[in-house]
Structures are given as C-alpha cells and as structure tokens.
A and B are shown apart, each in its own frame.
Chain A
Amino acid sequence: MVNRKSYVPFMFLGPGMVFLGIFLFYPTIRLFILSFHKYDMITPMEYVGLQNYQMIVSDPKFHQAFLNSWIYLLVTPILIVISFLVAILVNRKLPGISLFRAIYYLPVVTSMVVVGIAWRWMYQQQGLLNMVLKAVNFPGAPFGFLTSTSLSLPSVMWVTIWKGIGYYMVIFLAGLQAIPEQLYEAGRVDGANFWQLHLHVTLPQIRPQVVLVFILSSINALKVFTEVFVMTKGGPLDSSLTMVVYIYRQAFDFFKFGYASALGVIIFLSILIFSIFNMRRSRGGQAIR
C-alpha cells in the first residue's frame, strides 16, 4: 500500500455511503422516532409517548397477525427438509441435470406477484387442484383453499414453500458438492445404506448450510407480504393476516403512520433478536462465509 491523500478513499466511498445514509440508515432511525408519534401526513406530527405501543398490546387484529406470522415460521422446517431432499436428488452427474436444476429454480426468479396469481388460479373452487383432488375422490374435495378461514393461511404458506425450494436447494447443493467423496466411500465400506449415509455423513457436513437456510427462511417468513397481499389480502376474516400486511394496512389504507411504525419496531426487534439468537447458538459466523 502506498501513501495517499486521506480524502481519496472517501471519494470512492462517498456516493454509496450517501445513498445508504439517506435511504437506509435515516429511515431506520425515523422508524423508531415515528413510533412515539401520531402522524397522518396532513396534520403535524404529535408526540404521544408510548401510546402506540399501549394500543398494540390491546389490539386483537395485531394479536391475530402476530400469531399468524409465528405460525408462518412452520415453512422453515418444511423448506429445510424438502430443499435438502431435492438437493440430494439433483446432486449427481446425469445428462440434463442442469436443466432440471434450472427448472426447479424457475419459481425463484419469477416475481411473487405472478406466482401468487398462478397459485390463486390453481386454488379456485373450480380450479385445477380441486379437479385433481375430485378425480382421485379425495374426501372433502373441493376445498375453498383461499376462501375458508382454516385453509387460507396454510395455502399461502405452501406458495412460499413452493417458490423457495429452488433457492434453498442451491444453497444445499453448494454444501453437498464440498463434501469429500472419501467420506461416502468409508461409509459404504462400513455397510451403510442410502439413508444412513445421508443421516450420518451428509447431515453433519452440511450443518452450516442448514443454519443458513434456517436463518434466511425464517427471516423471510416473518417478513412475508407479497404472496398474502396478492392471494388473500389477509382474508377471509383476517385468517391469513400477517404482520407486514397489517402494517401496510395501517399505514397506507388508514394513514396511521405512527401506529404502523410502532408495529414495525416490534417486528424489527423480533427479527433482530431471532436472528442474533440463532447465529449465536449455532456460531453462524461460519455459515455466512
């Protein structure tokens, strides 16, 4: 390294830092400040102390949204298991295997709006899914996947899972490909079968990837918005209402920006605590290279 004038690094860093400052750091700080105020963008901001937070505690709709968002976390273990199995399936040298990987990845690059529409169409009372279920005489078919209060949340959760499999598959695939072949050979010599091999050789080896997928998918589950908004708008009767959808409603339908910010702070802290806890517990530093 050579001596330079001290302002040189900051000429390169400057523009990026300004962007991050204005559009990321500033709004983050404002979110916390705003949560102690009442604001509707027309009348001036009014300091109300902890009133917004007190309102949250006794807001039944928030309770529903909060509960739903935590139920939504169930997508995480399901995603880990399915993506892992799919990764094992595509982790082999076969003609055309990269085509299959690409196909499984396709939902990942498609926008959630299109995916939501495609699945809303599948889920219709007279939709393809119900037709297939009727054809095999599935008891109870046809289902109101998006119109019944008991099915709407699981139906939307499935779409999150379906769209995510390819993404997490690639993460697992990277982990699988780094496992030395000798480990499997040793296992086979000891007479391990297919499942034993994966349980005792693969799983311990890809622990960092499991942790990474766990953290990423659970954070995404807590932040879920688009699939819910496109498919159910949180309905029917708020049965699929999640926290971010509720915040959106409070802010941009009812213009309660202060209250919405307080809700935002709650989620912000939930996510932060959740991810720090998980990284600590699993020494996640090694997972995120």
Chain B
Amino acid sequence: MRDFNLSERLYKDSWLARYSPKRVIRRVKELTLKQAIKKAGIYLLLLSLSLLFVGPFLWLFSTALKSSSEAIMQFPPQFIPKNPTLKNFIHVWNVLNLDRFMLNSVLVTGFTVLLNVFLSAAAAYPLARMDFFGRDWIFYAILSTMMIPRQLTYIPLFILMNKIGLVNTYAGMILPFGVEAFGVFIMRQSYYSVPEDLENSARVDGANEFQIWWKVVLPLVKPGMAALGIFVFIGSWSRFLWPLIIAQDKSRYTLTVGLEFLQGFFTGNWRYIAAGSVISVVPIILFFIFTQRFFIEGLSGALKQ
C-alpha cells in the first residue's frame, strides 16, 4: 500500500501534465492521412460540444467584463469586450456582502464536509468490520433513506429548526446534512477494500476498538474519505433550497442564496448579475480542475488506488 499523497497524484493525473506540447507533437507526427482526417472530424465534434457546455459561462464572463459604455445586447454580439474592465466585479463586491456570502459558504461547506467524513467513517466501521445483532437491518435502514426525496422533508425540518431555535444559524444549515446514507455506503466499501490483518495484530497487542479504528484503520481509508469529502463539498457548495429556507437575513446567506438575491437586487443590470455569478463560480471551478478525475473516472476508480 503506497502512501496516499493527494496533491501529487492529482497533478500527475491532470491533463496539464499528461498533454505537454512535446508529447502532443510527437503523436501528431505518427499519424497517417486517413487517420488524421477522422481524428480531425472527431476533434471538431468534441470542440463544438465544448462550446455548447462552456459557451454560456464564457458569455456570462464576457458580459461581466464589459464597461457601462459598451452595449451588452447589441447585434451582432460582441464576444470579446472592447475595453475590458473589472469595475463590475468591484461594484458587486462592494455593494453586496459577497465576501460575507463567500465566508458563509466556506464555513457551511467546511463543517458539512468534516461532519460527513467523520460520522460516515465512524458509522460504517462496525457495519463493515463487526458482527452484531441487527447489523444488516441497520445498514438497510440507512440505505433506505436514499429513497427519501430530501426537499420534501424541509417543511417539517423547518418547523423543527424553529422549535429548537436553529433558524438563521450556521448549525441549522450544517447539521441536517451532517451524514448521509451515500457517505456511509462509500466508507463501508472503503473498509472492505482494506485487509483485516493489521487490525488483528493491533488487537493482539492489546489496543482497544477505538484506538484500532482511529490509529490503524482510518489512515488506510484516506482515499475513501477524500472521495467522500470531495462529493460532499460539491453538493454542499451548490445547495440552494435549504439555505434559502433557513437563512432569514443577509448575514447568513450562502453564495447560492446571495446570487438569487443579487439577481433580484440588480434587476436587469446584467453586467452586475454576471459579475456576481462569475465571482461565485471561480472557487468551484478551481476545485474541480484539481479533483476532476474523482468525478470523471467514477467512485470505484477513485477508491481503487
């Protein structure tokens, strides 16, 4: 079992490293003409599809860069701003508490990730490693919660939060998503992929169950924890309906709710709306660039390492 070094692995597997100009040129030289035409066709298709998927984002970005002297709805459309400016970003940042929204999103997402990783890792351990009465039933009960459409529970959940005084608090935003069946499932799979010998030898040495879990087993399932953390991060960062319900004033808005508010606040001023959207999307795009293989290659690929 080699050491799990996340950053190094993410770089090595990134397209940045894999497709350096040198390597690309060498491969192009090895082609025959017929292959080359077919490949060019495929790349053309791939590129036009890329335009479909990043186009709306790029258009938003281009709009955000346009100064107030430049028309944003003219025909024909101007894709590259004539006098690109950062004024819109600065204005939006200053007028709205975008930094506050950002901070709230970071806090809520951070704690949600920590809670999920910790609670799932703990709950999945006995489900994978111990033999006790009702184990399978408990696992099925946890799995069955995947069938519950979460948004539908928000009404009673809101009433509950109101009763215990957690409306408009960080705790109210974080706790309901502290653990999910999905996470327990992933962690259970991770434990299964780790051999039991180490635990047994630790047990012979007289360690108690908690020590074994914390010091011996947990370090071995770090890849699973990382994968889970990444998935929870994305889910939490883009969560909208629950923060919309539970955050009652602007000081508690997350970025998604803040953006929806911004959309109403700057009605029709698309330069500002676009600038706010771009600001909110930058962190997630950066995050995605470094973790994309976890998504594209699927969970099983990520866990196999």
Chain B interface main SS type: helix
Chain A 48-89 residues near chain B, CB threshold 8 A: 86, 89
Interfacial chain A residues near B123, Cβ < 8 Å: 12-13, 15-17
Residue of B nearest to A251 (CB): B155
A102-131 CB mask vs B (1 if < 8 Å, else 0) is: 111111111111110111111010111001
Q: Is A9 on the interface with B (CB-CB < 8 A)?
A: yes
Q: How far is the CA of A117 from the CA of B237 in the complex (A)?
A: 16
Contact of A117 among B60, B135, B147 (CB under 8 A): B60
Q: Which residues of B contact A (CB under 8 A)?
A: 15, 18-19, 23-24, 27, 39, 42-43, 45-46, 49-50, 52-54, 56-57, 59-60, 63, 73, 75-77, 119-120, 122-123, 125-127, 130-133, 135, 138, 142, 145, 147-149, 151-160, 162, 175-179, 181, 184, 203, 209-210, 213, 234, 237-238, 240-241, 245, 255-256, 259-260, 263, 270, 273-274, 277, 280-281, 284-285, 287-289, 292-293, 295-296, 298, 300
Find out whether the CB atom of B156 lies under 8 angstroms from the CB atom of A170: no
Q: Which residues of A1-43 have CB atoms within 8 Å of chain B's CB atoms?
A: 1-2, 4, 6, 8-13, 15-17, 19-20, 22-28, 30-31, 34, 39, 41
Closest A residue to B209 using CB positions: A8
Which of A6, A100, A118, A248 meets B60, CB within 8 Å? A118
The bracket for how many chain A residues form the interface is 35 or more
**What A residues does B23 contact at CB under 8 A?**
95
Chain A residues with a Cβ under 8 A of chain B: 1-2, 4, 6, 8-13, 15-17, 19-20, 22-28, 30-31, 34, 39, 41, 86, 89-90, 92, 94-115, 117-122, 124, 126-128, 131, 134-135, 162, 165-166, 170, 173-174, 219, 222-223, 225-226, 229-230, 244, 247-248, 251-252, 257, 260-261, 264, 267-268, 271-272, 275
Measured CA separation A165–B260 after assembly (Å): 24
